[in-house]
Amino acid sequence: MVTGASNGLGLVTAQALVAAGATVVLACRDRARGERAAATCLAGGGGRADRGAGGGCRRGRAVVGEIDLARPASVDAFARWLTDQHGQLDLLVNNAGVMAAPPTLTPDGIELHWATNHLGPFALVGHLLDVLSASPGSRVVAVSSVAAGTGRLVGHDPTSLAGYRWWPAYAASKLANLVFAQELDRRLRAAGLSVASLAAHPGTTHTNLVSTRFAGGGLLADVGRRVALAGSRLVLAPATAGAQPILRAATDPDAQGGSYWGPSGFRQYRGRPVLVEPPPSAADPALGPTLWEQSIRLTGVDYLS
């Protein structure tokens, strides 16, 4: 399963997995966009689309599921649907995310970057732990970012918009992705489960997230989006390159739980997919347990305690 599979890195990742013969659940917030993504996957890799009807695994199959990671009820409903339709899950790629969101609290009082990029995936893994455990050697891959290097978790309050700036909020959520992946792997091994947790980041990659800072209507916003996307295409690596570390973490038979994958080039901006060192911001061993307990408190989803 790949979250946020309707475009960008998620779509490229899902397309590669379908082309390799996998049955892939495209978990998307917008079902119509998910259907179009499924058609794209099948056009590139062969197979057939399925609109969440379930059934057994068939070669090159794309299944569309609807999920909004910022809404706990949607995460729970999606997980129940997936559990009912599929007895096991071999791979979960937590790719979906938001960037440059305006100052927003969800109905549950959580800042939007934190709710979507961290708490939603945290709850989703908890809900799907049984189906992941039913598949020997299964993996969970968290998609982080080079922004994690500037993120700070100590003192970060995801329930407040006081002094809100989108970059620190985004960077904190991406650091949380990496710290969560590492803490999850430690707890999975301590519990004796065969599920492995890994993390990856795409480097500096052109996706539609680049234009989200110009959200809204009007001529200026539209011009801003167009300029941002045009400049991004010229400077940043394409999504097909950015997806390679994610795919290696997901499929390399030698990739170990707790490992972190990214581009090999200067400052991990671009290059071939290799093992990389986590940024110093993720080094504090107290971050994982603290983040875990906070996530349980904010989601009400308790597992591997």
Query: Cα–Cα distance between 144 and 142 in angstroms, integer?
Result: 6
Query: Cα–Cα distance between 250 and 261 in angstroms, integer?
Result: 10
- Quickly tell me which residue has 């062969």 as its tokens: 46
Q: Are 82 and 63 in contact (CB under 8 A)?
A: no
Which residues, listed in sequence order, are joined to residue 111 by a DSSP beta bridge? 105
Q: Are 229 and 211 in contact (CB under 8 A)?
A: yes
Which residues, listed in sequence order, are joined to residue 92 by a DSSP beta bridge? 140
Query: Cα–Cα distance between 178 and 283 in angstroms, integer?
Result: 10
Query: Cα–Cα distance between 203 and 67 in angstroms, integer?
Result: 26
Long-range contacts of 283-289 (CB under 8 A, 24+ apart): 284/154, 287/153, 287/154, 287/179, 287/183, 288/179, 288/180, 288/182, 288/183, 288/186, 289/183
Task: Select which of 164, 170, 260, 303 is catalytic.
Answer: 170
Q: Is 164 a catalytic residue?
A: no
- Quickly tell me which residue has 């065969």 as its tokens: 194
Q: List, edge to edge, every strand of the sheet that includes 23-28.
A: 48-50, 61-66, 23-28, 2-3, 91-94, 139-143, 196-200, 260-263, 273-275
Per DSSP bridges, beta strands 2-3 and 48-50 are unpaired
Residues 232, 249, 71, 34, Cα dihedral to 10°: 70
List active site positions: 170
